[in-house]
Amino acid sequence: MFSLRTAVRRTSTATRQSTRALSAPHTVSSARLSSPYARHALRASAVPLLQGRHYSRAAEPHFSSTRSTVVQLLSNIGSKREVQQYLSHFTSVSSQQFAVIKVGGAIITEHLETLSSALAFLNGVGLYPIVVHGAGPQLNRMLEDAGVEPEFEDGIRVTDGKTLALARKLFLEENLKLIEELERMGVRARPVTAGVFSADYLDKQKYNLVGKINGVNKKPIESAISAGCLPILTSMAETPDGQVLNVNADVAAGELARALQPLKIVYLAEKGGLFNGDTGEKISAINLDEEYDHLMQQWWVRHGTRLKIKEMKDLLDDLPRTSSVAIIHPADLQKELFTDSGAGTLIRRGNKVHTKTSLAEFEDLEKLKEVLVRDREGLDARATVDRYVEGLKERDFKVYYDEPMEALAVVLPPQKDATTPLAHLATFTITKSGWLTNVADNVFASIKKDFPKLVWTVKEDDENLTWFFDKADGSLSRDGEVLFWYGIENGEEVKQLVQEFNKDGRQMFGDLNLESRLHRAAQAATNIGKGVGASAASTEQKRTFSSTGNALRAARSGRPTVPVQAVRTFVTTNPNPPLGEKNMSNTQPSKVALIGARGYTGQALISLINAHPHLDLRHVSSRELAGKQLQGYDKREIIYENLSPEDVKRMSENGDVDCWVMALPNGVCKPFVDAVDQGSPKGNVIVDLSADYRFDGNWTYGLPELVNRSTIAKATRISNPGCYATAAQIGIAPLVPFLSGQPTIFGVSGYSGAGTKPSPKNDVEFLTNNIIPYSLTGHIHEKEIGYQLGASVAFVPHVAVWFQGIHHTISIPLKEKMSSREVRNLFHERYAGEKLVKIVGEPPLVKDIAGRHGVEVGGFAVDATGTRAVICATIDNLLKGAATQCLQNMNLALGYGEYEGIPLE
């Protein structure tokens, strides 16, 4: 026996192979098909399917047979109910309202056959997706071959006349390439390379021949479909006076969708979806009404991911609620479109899930009863529901539903005296529209958040059985019923559950069945509350637990059930589990203690905490200032303390502090760290600003731009990087793979970097008209930079007369010849979307970075040999070099947005 996911993968593979066979230009021998079912289906069709360059469904007498065969093949990847239901849904609208599919240039280059097979399959069941494609990667290569250097402003390609001419030629070639492959597979397709998109100049002075679409002409698309052809569009637009303009393919697809109002907008991508940065898993679905605000606070929702999600929300806000966006690999297009589980990332507006825990909370109890009646059969259905609702008054429950009540679930929490703490899904009713728009997933996800352990039963002939298998960790079949559960990892709990089910499955729950017979409802009302393991009132009592109604039961799903003799639980363990409620969803204040607040960094951090909406500074320790009032903090009056390690231990034990910040000199903070560890080993976060733990493998190095943010967010012991080291690493990291030797870093800091203790390095009079080199070899930052980058560096620090700010000039030997543009592009790509890293053209200046919270990198000079690059980087040593970076780390570890409380420009 294997899991549902294994079965899906296998049938999906077989279907893809069958798809290629269906799309072949000649009769296909059975030897080419690995799926016996697919071979049988092909033989049954009696004709070469989708064959002939002039194929027309209107004139093809075998079309109904072809459609039936394709439906059979699609059933390999989902239940027959799913396939027929979605197919009926897609054909319920006009042909141009089925789907807009955006195809990236890389898909045409790398996956042309797969793409064409997927489109052929859709066309084989009478669907006409509208395809709009780009050619960005190909255009980059073509421009490079032509000696034209690409130029971008704000991520938009600046398009001059020569670039546009090359782009038009390329787009036509790529368009014809796809059309020829489709026609080779027997699918009629029509190139639509002009006349659809009208546009104005986006910003002629800035971007030149780049357009902003202001209109969509649907007639060329409708004409192609009327002729039985798939319309294949390029993303070119024209002004009213006929000037051709370049437009982004994603933008073109969005505007096309706004004009056509399709059910589906599909973005084909090599990655096959969006991925959760914490778990590394593909995101199956995003319900924007429910999840958007929370999602946009996640640390990993940045760069292109953040932009993509925002664009999808803006698009769906302009479309009917039934429309949705899918991001998918072309090989999995059928599974995404025709199954409940999908294969890529589905983005939809959804409906926010509401909950109630008492009948008094329902303003319209009759509406609730109407929803419960809709799945019931028999003349006594209303009386059954009345008794069911009456029974709810006698026990705890939680109801989940969306605004229009397309989906409604009733969950019974575990009873206090239950031997096994399992909640019961007593009712789960979904309309056809609810299944099609995936409201069921939304409701079930809400249930799972509230109830970590759940059990429910489904009739084994339920047409949605596959969906329930996908939601469960384990299952057991007996007497026409399937028992499902999730969250049970203890073997004894599973054993007890199975024993109870085997002993008398009909008596297990005694809960709230909405069977059509009145006497069963009466029994349900009188036996409410019997949990797993509870004694039964009567040995003849039928199972009083139901999870789906009968409205959608039209056919058996064909899903194999698990026999009693082969009980097996599928407990999924995630090697990289989600961060949980603590992270990125924390709205509660966190208590902070600052140890060593006298220095410049401590003062800068106090100022940032003062402006932070969630951080509450409770204790500030300074031996020299003990007894004095803290200045510059407005949230509460704070008196400096002189905390000892014993005080810290006691405060840690009492839970007085959520986050400790150690702003002490090197080699001083260990007794305080040990005190926190002794008081609360795991409960407190410590961020250390010294160098004491930067080489300690038990601590997390907190440089968010270069270290996995998930690692920082999960950490409780964080070593804050040094100021020199932060700027140097950011200035070198993109070139580490290209190093041929040791980079040399010439660094100059303002005298605030020398601290407040008097010395020649912070003596303004001594520094005037002067610069002081120090620690010419072996500086602690030299070791730190090399240790973190994994590459040896030479670092020569200096101090100058300005107060704050650092400048680095970094000489980097390269193992291969590179141009300055190539070097600059590496930095643009590496730090795209980073809010605190700015890439500039000219060498950055100290006076421009002082008092600001980020790093600036520029210069990008390359010597005549092309094998030595010179990079310049600037940073404020007190802010991003210390306090700002500390706040980033605190935010991540305490569960706030990474940039909360940090002024961003």
The residues annotated with a catalytic role in the active site are 723
- The span from the CA of 877 to the CA of 881, in Å, is 4
Sign of the torsion formed by the C-alpha atoms of 346, 351, 357 and 359? negative
Could you tell me which of 481, 482, 499, 485 has the C-alpha nearest to residue 451? 485
Could you tell me which of 233, 251, 245, 238 has the C-alpha nearest to residue 209? 245
- The span from the CA of 80 to the CA of 63, in Å, is 19
Could you tell me which of 176, 174, 66, 38 has the C-alpha nearest to residue 122? 66
Element of type H or E holding 829: helix 820-830
Could you tell me which of 658, 661, 655, 672 has the C-alpha nearest to residue 620? 661
How far apart, in Å, are the Cα atoms of 152 and each of 157, 779, 822, 829, 841?
Answer: 4, 40, 13, 12, 13
Element of type H or E holding 670: helix 670-679
- The span from the CA of 579 to the CA of 564, in Å, is 36
Calculate ∠ Cα 898-900-903, nearest 5°.
110
Look at residue 568 and give its three-state secondary structure. Answer: strand
How far apart, in Å, are the Cα atoms of 546 and each of 164, 462, 488, 537, 560?
Answer: 63, 11, 20, 19, 20
Answer whether 351's CB lies under 8 Å from 294's CB: no
Neighbours of 681 (CB within 10 A): 10
Which DSSP string corresponds to 277-329? TTT-PBP-EEEHHHHHHHHTTSTT--HHHHHHHHHHHHHHHTS-TT-EEEEE-
- The span from the CA of 504 to the CA of 540, in Å, is 10
- The span from the CA of 790 to the CA of 823, in Å, is 20
- The span from the CA of 70 to the CA of 356, in Å, is 44
Q: Which residue has the tokens 């040094």?
A: 722
Half-sphere exposure of residue 632: CA atoms within 13 angstroms, side-chain side: 13
Cβ-proximal residues to 281 (8 Å cutoff; 6+ apart), any chain: 275, 574
For 201-204, which contacts have Cβ atoms below 8 Å and span 24 or more sequence positions?
201/239, 201/245, 202/156
Q: Which residue has the tokens 């368009």?
A: 175
Could you tell me which of 732, 866, 889, 747 has the C-alpha nearest to residue 812? 732
Element of type H or E holding 799: strand 794-799
Q: Which residue has the tokens 């009083």?
A: 544
Could you tell me which of 712, 714, 662, 716 has the C-alpha nearest to residue 692? 662
Neighbours of 520 (CB within 10 A): 19
- The span from the CA of 665 to the CA of 647, in Å, is 20
Residues β-bridged to residue 267: 102, 327
Residues β-bridged to residue 102: 132, 267
- The span from the CA of 18 to the CA of 32, in Å, is 9
Bin 671: left if φ > 0, else alpha if -120 < ψ < 50, else beta: alpha
